[in-house]
Structure 1
Amino acid sequence: MTYTKKCRKSGNKYSVEARAVGRQVQLQVYATRIVLRQDGEIVGEHERCFGRGKTIFNPWHYVPVLKRKPGALRNGAPFRDWDLPPAMTQIWTHLRGTSDGDRQLADILFAAYQHDIDVVEAACEEALKSGLRKADAILNIVSRRTNPPPPKAIEPPAHLQLKMAPIADCARYDRLGGSHATA
C-alpha cells in the first residue's frame, strides 16, 4: 500500500493523498520543500530530502485508506514510528492488544483526519480520565465537541399562547370504537 510519486532527479519517492493515486501530479521542487499538485490543488507537501532512493511518507495521506484496510496500521511503512500526541499514543498502545483494535484505531484516526487532531487528542484525554479506551466512547466525545448544541427553546409571543389548555376526552375515543367492539 504505497501512494507515492517519484522525483526523477533524486530518485526519492514522496507520498500523496489517497485521492491522487493513479492520476498525474505536478511536482514543484523548492530549495527546502516538495509540493505535489493535482488539478491545481495541493495533494502532498514534504520537506525536501537530499538523499537518493528514499521514500518519504506522510501517514495522514493514508488515513482514508485505513477505513477499508485497518490492518495496514500493523505493518504499513507510513505508520512505523508515527509520532502521535500522548493520549492518542496511549489509546493506540491499549488497542493493539484487542481483536478489533486496528479497526477502532482507524476510526479514531479518521475522526482526526476529518476534524482536527487537537479535538481528538482532547477527546482521548477525557476518555482516559474516565477509564474509557474504546473508539465508540472517544468518537462520542468528539461528536459532542464538534456538533453544535441544540438551539434553545423559544417562548411563543403572547398572542400565540394558548388561553385554554386542551382537555383530553378518552371517552369520545371509546364511543368511536364501541360500536365495532360489540359487533
Structure 2
Amino acid sequence: MSGTIARIRREFFTRGRSIKDIVRDLHVSRNTVRKVIRSGATAFAYEREVQPLPKLGPWRDVLDRMLTTNAGRSAREQLTPIRIYEVLRGLG
C-alpha cells in the first residue's frame, strides 16, 4: 500500500492530476485518494480495538480432533463435511 500512497501523492502534487484521473488509473476509491492527499501520511494501518471471537470457538478442539482422525482414515471411512456439520450441530 505504501507504493500506492507514494504514487497517489506524486500524481497529485507533482504532476497536478485530478483525483478523478488518479482513481481511474490506480483503481482505488475516491475516499482513499482524498484521505492520502489530506493526511500527508506515508502509510496507513488498521487495527481492531476488539478482536471478535470466532463462532466455532467452543467447538474448535472437537473439530480439530475430528479432522486429525479423519486424515488418518481411508477415503471410504472419512467423514464428509455434511456429517462433520451434523456432529457439531448435535453438540450444541
The question of a shared fold, defined as TM-score above 0.5 by the shorter chain, is answered with no
- The normalised TM-score by structure 1 is 0.19
More helix by share: 2
- The normalised TM-score by structure 2 is 0.32
